[in-house]
Structure formats: C-alpha cells, structure tokens
C-alpha cells in the first residue's frame, strides 16, 4: 500500500499538511467538507505538494515535520517541487 504526505493550499492562502494512501480520494474528502475542521472553513482547497513515503510510520513522521514548517518554508518546498 502506498503512503503519501501532502500539502493543500486553502482558499485563504494558508496551507494544510496531512498524509494519506489515496491523494485523489483525500482531496475529494477535504473539498466535500469531510477532510478536517481546518480545511472545512477554508474551501475550496487544492493539492499543491505530494511526497511518497516508504510506510505509515514514515508518513506520520514526515507529516509532523511538514506541519511544523513556517508558511514561507512550505511555499519554498512547493515551489521547488513544481520546478520553480
């Protein structure tokens, strides 16, 4: 089973980090208002960063690290992945 960490960009310009085994399903859940309380108040959201992980433990650890990053650092990470 694949594991991924992701960052969503919310409608208000903030970022939300999480982990999942199915990024498209999770994005649909968030945009349906069933993803998290944080994103529910900031719809719509778009997937701007996706990072594969080796296993669930790695995904959980990386999610914590992503959540701890500043807004600026998350933006740099996103920009770098998108080839900018």
Q: What is the dihedral of CA 42, 44, 48, 49, to 10 degrees?
A: 60
Beta bridge partners of 19: 5
- Which pTM value belongs to this model? 0.94
Residue 84 has pLDDT above 80, yes or no: no
Check: CB of residue 6 under 8 Å from CB of residue 66: no
Could you read off the pLDDT of 20-73 as tens digits, one per residue?
A: 999 999 999 999 999 899 999 999 999 999 999 999 999 999 999 999 999 999
Domain 3-81 in CATH 3.40.1440.10: yes
What pLDDT does 45 receive? 98
CA atoms within 13 A on the CB side of 5: 22
């Amino acid at each position: 089973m694949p594991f991924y960490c992701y960052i969503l960009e919310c409608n208000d310009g903030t970022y939300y980090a999480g982990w999942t085994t199915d990024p498209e399903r999770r994005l649909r859940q968030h945009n349906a208002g069933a993803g998290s309380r944080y994103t529910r108040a900031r719809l719509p959201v778009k997937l701007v960063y996706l990072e594969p992980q080796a296993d669930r433990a790695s995904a959980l650890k990386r999610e914590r690290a992503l959540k701890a990053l500043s807004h600026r650092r998350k933006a740099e990470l996103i920009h770098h992945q998108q080839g900018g």
